[in-house]
Structure 1
């Protein structure tokens, strides 16, 4: 099913790097002890903070992060949670100083019979992306983005090889700047599917999925201001497979046939095929490579898709994305990392389309990154990374290039 995919935010804001790495380390620590806590400090330089096409502005940012969590089995049940707090300070752009957080947790449960499931939720607060594209003019003020999500999955084992699975979830996004209110949404999705597992290495699934998305302030109608809403309804049929080809290679694939209609606020519709293929490959004991390719509408890409270069905010634009990331174990304590990604957004019928813009409006984002980390011990890690983000666009002020580099240190203890 669609929800079995890895849910990763695609944003690449440099000052969040340490927090992401810290969260990954905490998961590994949780395997050995149910309780953990830690912290990290990162220093980063950004060459083009506001992602503008002219007059690039550079700045240095320091981020301090704290986290704690639990991963505990209680009989048949499992409780898990992660909490991360970040505080960022800029050398020159002090107006962007901010505090953020990332919370996620849940419960894996099961009964004596064949019923099991997962209840999970997450919430995050951070500085929003600047220059999101899609014809929206760049802003130069602090803009805080908040995302909330809750999801519930229930599984019923019918016979040995078949499982019936239902999923209900809710997603919400909010911004503090008025210019971004048109990108806020409330999304409800639910699905029902049947999975068939003929062997431990192969799983096949089919599901029907319905998604309702409401943009409560899609269009500003007056200077007061007041807004008009836009509501989308989308129906999909999903075909999925998880295939462990060998101990070194595994593939996840999804093919969806869907139709989306704008129930209120206009007539932008979508109908067609979408999907994703993700491949993890470990050619040797030292290498770990992940590749993902996808085609989907904007919000589906940003919420459920691994590999999009930028967080997508459009409901009905088509996003094609490709990403490859690799880790090489140079020694038992030193790891080299690298990645490249590209996404192409076609906004011929986008909700964000501005009257007068070329009907072939597009954004093409690219990203490259290299890094090295040193695991001094199980709980102490030091590392550095460098990267570049860029965009080519049919809208002049959406074009930009931004470089970043920085180092971090992190400590996790129980």
Structure 2
């Protein structure tokens, strides 16, 4: 499936040099790490277009530098993780981009039963072309997604206490470089306060009230959200565990976008099953809504964003530790979305689409510092309106990573 000979950028020499050094270095354990990875991939439908719009395939190379540290200091913990990426396409050179992912934070605890965390993140990457778009105009240009996040929390009590009281504040600022997607630029602020009841190691229950405010900055559309949620963790056996949260949310937009008002149930139910020491299965049922709390990592598809009023998903994940150094993972993600027109353009006001994603990968930890892996995937979508495109896409990639700790 990967048709072209690898065209490694200059930073590939750094990756190779680091890999050689890592195999001979015998440094003491320390909180710092430094590494590099090189990925070669192919995508059969880069812009996620239906067949009648002439989908384009291409191969790409991504070089990444990795660095960070994780340092406990008495009761505290300070950490940071940095990725610097350079991605180059063989034919679609207009999509070449430089990106990053940065996360830094502090976990703190006092001797008087108080604890909390502060974390900030920033990411710049090529946006997924499978996110909802308006109309049948194909987007064939560079579209960079930038996102900045901040989270802070504090709680009184810990797992040794029956009752814990907590509060949290978070912000998320997302924007796109393409004019066709700037109506999705969004800023959101949320506050959560609640309690958790820790009965024993087998059962934890909780409840919280969530208030959020947001704005689509380019379209000048503001919204407010009120929600109550209930959480729980239950471990019925030594090999199985269930956790999740369910909430009821009311979200209202200003008069210019009242058609997007939402009232309903959202939630996540996850079952973790480890029948043997080598097999792990995770099954998740998710009902998510536009601009609500992200119940799962959006990954590369951004299925729950502006334009997706409600998304119901089934996620199946499996990991097989074939040997001490080789692991195999498989994933299947099915999403059924109810779409709404987020602008006043003369298009359908309602729609529905179904997305199916499947992937299979293998990873080999050749040494403590060097690892290899390959992944193949397929993504398909069907749609009944002009609020999203139907498409089919196949992907494949392989990587090598060297990490020195």
TM bucket by the smaller chain?
Answer: 0.7 to 0.9
1:284 to 276, 279, 304: 276
SS, match of residue 181 in structure 1: helix
What is the aligned partner in structure 2 of residue 22 from structure 1? none
Q: Is the 8 A contact 2:45 2:56 kept in 1?
A: yes
Aligned-pair CA distance for 1:325: 1.1
**Paired residues of 1:309 and 1:366 also in contact (CA < 8 A):** no
Q: Structure 1 residue 131: deviation in Å?
A: 4.1
2:242 pairs with one of 227, 230, 251: 251
- CA distance change for structure 1 residues 264 and 116 in 2, over 3 Å: closer, same or farther? farther
Deviation for aligned residue 1:395: 3.3
Residue of structure 1 equivalent to 2:34? 37
Q: How many residues align?
A: 370
- TM superposition score normalised by structure 2: 0.87
Deviations 1:77-120 (A, max 9, x none): 00111101110111101111111100112100011202110101
Question: Which of residues 290, 298, 314 in structure 2 aligns to 1:322?
Answer: 314
On the 8 A contact 2:106/2:117 being kept in 1, the answer is: yes
Instruction: Describe the shift of the 1:352–1:244 C-alpha distance in structure 2 as closer, same or farther (beyond 3 A).
Output: farther
Aligned partner of 2:356 in structure 1 is 366
Alpha-carbon distance between aligned partners in 2 of 1:402 and 1:202, rounded to the nearest angstrom: 42
- The C-alpha deviation readout for 1:170-222, integer Å capped at 9, x for no partner, is 0000111111110000000001101100102221101000111100112xxxx
Tell me which moved more, 330-339 or 83-92: 330-339
Secondary structure, counterpart of 1:100 in structure 2: strand
Distance 2:130 2:310 in 1: 19
Mapped partners of 2:397, 2:235: distance in 1: 37
- Distance (Å, rounded) in 2 between the aligned partners of 1:214 and 1:307: 20
- Cα-to-partner distance string for 1:140-175 (whole Å, 9 max, x where unaligned): 111111000000000012992111100101000011
Corresponding residue number in structure 1 for 2:43? 46
Answer yes or no: is the 8 Å Cα contact 2:268–2:295 preserved in 1.
no
- Please state whether the residue corresponding to 2:291 is helix, strand or coil: helix
The CA distance in 2 between the partners of 1:288 and 1:309, in whole Å, is 23
CA distance in 1, matches of 2:307, 2:237: 37
3-state SS, counterpart of residue 304 of structure 1: coil
Q: Secondary structure of the residue that 1:48 maps to in structure 2? A: coil
Inter-CA distance 383–115: structure 2 relative to 1 (3 Å threshold): same
CA contact (8 A) 1:307 1:341 kept: no
Residue 237 (structure 1) shift: 0.5
1:6 counterpart residue number: none
Matches within 5 A, 1:327-366: 327-347=319-339, 349-352=340-343, 354-357=345-348, 359-366=349-356
Cα distance in 1, alignment partners of residues 156 and 243 from structure 2: 22
The match for 1:122 is 121
Question: What is the CA–CA distance in structure 2 between the aligned matches of 1:406 and 1:353, rounded to whole Å?
Answer: 40
Deviation per residue, 1:285-344 (Å, 9 max, x gap): 11011111111212336x332578831222660111111111111122111111100111
Shift in Å, 1:385: 0.8
Q: What aligned pairs does 1:7-406 form with structure 2 within 5 A after superposition?
A: 33-54=30-51, 55-136=54-135, 137-157=137-157, 160-218=161-219, 229-267=220-258, 268-300=260-292, 303-306=294-297, 310-311=301-302, 312-314=304-306, 317-347=309-339, 349-352=340-343, 354-357=345-348, 359-395=349-385, 398-406=389-397
Tell me, in whole angstroms, the C-alpha distance in 2 between the residues paired with 1:153 and 1:60: 43
Seen in structure 2, the aligned counterparts of structure 1 residues 306 and 148 have a Cα distance that, compared at 3 Å, is closer
> Which structure 1 residue ranges, 5 or more long, are not aligned?
1-31, 219-228
Q: Indicate conservation of the 8 Å contact 2:212/2:226, yes or no.
A: yes
CA distance in 2, matches of 1:182, 1:362: 20
What's the C-alpha RMSD, in Å, of the aligned pairs?
Answer: 1.9
Given that 2:306 and 2:342 are in contact with CA atoms closer than 8 Å, whether structure 1 keeps it comes out as yes
Partner Cα distance (1:75, 1:39) in 2? 31
Q: Which has more radius of gyration? A: 2
**Per-residue deviation, residues 223-244 of structure 1 (Å, max 9, x unmatched):** xxxxxx1111110001000223
Assess, with a 3 A threshold, how the Cα gap between structure 1 residues 240 and 353 changes in structure 2: closer, same or farther.
farther
Does the aligned pair in 2 maintain the 1:188–1:212 contact within 8 Å? yes
* TM-superposed deviation, 1:255: 1.0
246-255 vs 84-93, greater mean Cα deviation: 246-255
